Amino acid sequence: MSQPSAASVQMIGLSGIPEVRPGDDLAEHILTAAKASVPLQTGDILVVTQKIVSKAEGQLVDLATVTPSALATDWATRWGKDARQVEVALRESRRIVRMDRGVLICETRHGYICANAGVDASNVPGTETVCLLPVDPDASAAQLHTAISARVGFAVPVIISDTFGRAWRNGIVNVALGVAGMLPLADYRGQYDTEGREMHVTVLAVADEIASAAELVTGKLDRRPVVIVRGYGWTEAAGRGADLVMDPARDLFR
Amino acid sequence: MSQPSAASVQMIGLSGIPEVRPGDDLAEHILTAAKASVPLQTGDILVVTQKIVSKAEGQLVDLATVTPSALATDWATRWGKDARQVEVALRESRRIVRMDRGVLICETRHGYICANAGVDASNVPGTETVCLLPVDPDASAAQLHTAISARVGFAVPVIISDTFGRAWRNGIVNVALGVAGMLPLADYRGQYDTEGREMHVTVLAVADEIASAAELVTGKLDRRPVVIVRGYGWTEAAGRGADLVMDPARDLFR
């Protein structure tokens, strides 16, 4: 498993995960669905969408319990938003990066920079409930990694993914929030390219690329919230999704 | 082919592409390599790394011919760079987005925002040559799409990819520069999520996700510059990679 790339990698979307409820044993849901269709094999990586992790962890807010602040009310009125949902996004933020033309880009308390602090109402039952990001996506990934690896008898890295917007480019893409069991970055510095020249600045965010790849079979409108990534040569290591978040001191686009 | 997602998608890295030289028939190289190992099938997408496209198009600069400007010389001296290579990056730019702490983020004349305007010395023969981005990656993609589709007898979308850095996150990821034969964005607005709620802002940059997925089998150190993406349900359409570049008027991070 030491090769950083392979000739063929397959993404397999798992159907059959039930609607996840707070307190559910998500590892059990995933293993049951996998056993019934595509049993896990040595070398597989699991990509799990944030939404079902947050639901299992009870990271849901009933909007009826939220009293919006003056800022949330003003912003929501101006841009046709639900003031209570804006308020939840503000509470999930440690810094507002941009608040302009109806777009609210937040730095979450984890350090992720994303729209509305990751607070989302899609694919959540009821019209009065919103879903937050997990409290600690790396801890969530580690818990799933440990539970699933123990039950199948081999190490299965876990990536918890969400769709984020980007600066400069249209559309959202899947990225890795939490990572456990593999390195999220492949560091080619000090290695040599095909011409024998040392590569100076090539550090690939492979966990983000794997998350993006998984989205191709997840489907926004479908119920395939878990993807098996088969054939990618990962290196077993204590990686963390937090390693993908740029140190503010280095970030030129804060 | 109207499904925007599938239960299984495979990335297959093509070996056997020779070192590409200016004027080469790249479509012929790709088809020869595919025939010898993994023949193209209906529904396949091809992801082609920018480097071999640029080489075939002769987008190479001999640094011995470059006289650096005062700005390039000053910056290179300060940060231990090759002043001629910095000069080439400045010439490829229509705007400098950030120039700080040894990092040069440019807006290329195409509108891409990336380090060093995409000018790159890795995997280029000789120590005195650098590679530029294609003049018009959408035109390059369209040319390959037309040539390859004609020869195999069915439509094969083409994505020309490169690795770009991102704001806020560590590491580089593969993105789509040029696109031909499919839509680069999957627009879910007006559709309904699994709870029957209309999705308001979900536009997925699927061409970027496909490019990222392909990188998992390309490998920076390997000679697999072409990837077959098999099993992804694309929609035949006149898409362009330029559609992935955010309109400056909407961009909050210029």
Classify A56 as helix, strand or coil.
Answer: helix
Q: May I ask the CATH architecture of the domain A60-131?
A: Alpha-Beta Complex (3.90)
Chain B residues closer than 8 Å to A115 by CB: 201
DSSP annotation string for A195-236: TSPBPSS-EE-HHHHHHHHHHHHH-TTSS--EEEEES----B
Interface of B with A in 161-190 (CB under 8 A): 163, 166-175, 184-185, 188
Would you call A172 and B202 a contact, using CB atoms and an 8 Å cutoff? yes
B28 shares contact with chain A (CB less than 8 Å): no
Q: Decide if B252 and A103 are in contact by the 8 Å CB cutoff.
A: yes
Separation of alpha carbons A121 and A129, rounded Å: 7
pLDDT of residue B197: 67
pLDDT in the model for residue A222: 61
Question: How does pLDDT run across A48-85, given as a tens digit for each residue?
Answer: 999 999 999 999 999 999 999 999 999 999 999 999 99
The reported pLDDT for the residue numbered A254 is 83
**In this model, does residue B13 exceed pLDDT 70?**
yes
Identify the three-state secondary structure at position A30. helix
Q: What is the mean pLDDT of chain A?
A: 92
Q: Which residue ranges make up each domain of chain A? A: 10-59+134-244, 60-131
Please indicate if any CB of chain A lies within 8 Å of the CB of B217. yes
- The answer, yes or no, to whether residue B3 has pLDDT greater than 60, is no
Name the minimum distance, in Å, from the CA of A123 to any CA of chain B.
5
* A198: nearest CA partner in chain B: B122
B252·A206 Cβ contact <8 A: no
Task: For the domain covering B10-58+134-244, report its CATH number.
Answer: 3.30.1330.100
pLDDT of residue A200: 60
Q: Identify the pLDDT of residue A6.
A: 46
Confidence at residue A124, expressed as pLDDT on a 0 to 100 scale = 76
Q: Which residue has the higher pLDDT, B33 or B6?
A: B33
Look-up of token digits 């995933």: A30
Query: Chain A window 43-82: which residues touch B at a Cβ cutoff of 8 Å?
Result: none
pLDDT digits (tens, 9 = 90+) for B146-158: 999 999 999 999 9
Give the B window 86-115 contacts with A, CB below 8 Å. 98, 100-101, 103, 105, 112-113, 115
CB contact under 8 A, A13 and B6: yes
- How high is the pLDDT of residue B11? 97
Compare all CA atoms of chain B with the CA of A196 and give the residue at the minimum distance: B123
pLDDT at A235: 85
pLDDT interval class at B200 (50, 70, 90): low
Quick one: which H or E segment has residue B8? strand B8-14
Q: What is the greatest pairwise CA distance in chain B?
A: 62
The verdict on domain A10-59+134-244 having CATH code 3.30.1330.100 is: yes
Distance of residue A39 Cα from the nearest chain B Cα, in angstroms: 14
Quick: pLDDT tens for B62-103.
Answer: 999 999 999 999 999 999 999 999 999 999 999 999 999 999
* pLDDT score, position B223: 74
Among candidate residues A125, A169, A95, the one with its CA nearest the CA of residue B114: A169
Q: Give the model confidence (pLDDT) of B26-61 as tens digits.
A: 999 999 999 999 999 999 999 999 999 999 999 999
Backbone torsion region of residue B168, taken as left when φ is above 0, otherwise alpha when ψ lies between -120 and 50, otherwise beta: left
Measured between CA atoms, the residue of chain A closest to residue B8 is A12
Measured CA to CA, the distance from residue A148 to residue A39 in angstroms comes to 12
Task: Report the pLDDT value the prediction gives residue B1, as an integer from 0 to 100.
Answer: 33
Core vs surface per residue A239-252: b (16+ CB within 10 A) or e: bbbbbbbbeeeeee
Mean pLDDT of chain B: 92
The reply to whether residue B208 touches residue A10, judged by beta carbons under 8 angstroms, is: no
- Nearest residue to A202 (alpha-carbon basis) of A193, A194, A214: A193
Share of residues in chain B with pLDDT > 90 (%): 81
Q: Which residues of B240-254 are buried (b: 16+ CB within 10 A; e: fewer)?
A: bbbbbbbeeeeeebe
Classify burial at A36, counting beta carbons within 10 Å of its beta carbon; exposed 0-12, middle 13-18, buried 19 or more.
exposed
CB hemisphere CA count around B207 (13 angstroms): 34
A199 touches chain B (CB under 8 A): yes
Q: How far is B71 from chain A (nearest CA, A)?
A: 20
Give every residue of chain A whose pLDDT is below 70, as ranges: 1-6, 195, 197-201, 220-222
- A170: nearest CB among B13, B167, B205: B205
pLDDT at residue number A187: 87
Over range B162-181, report the average pLDDT. 97
Among the ranges given (A158-167, B114-123, B238-247), the one the predictor scored with the smallest mean pLDDT: B114-123
Gap between the Cα atoms of B27 and A67, Å rounded: 61
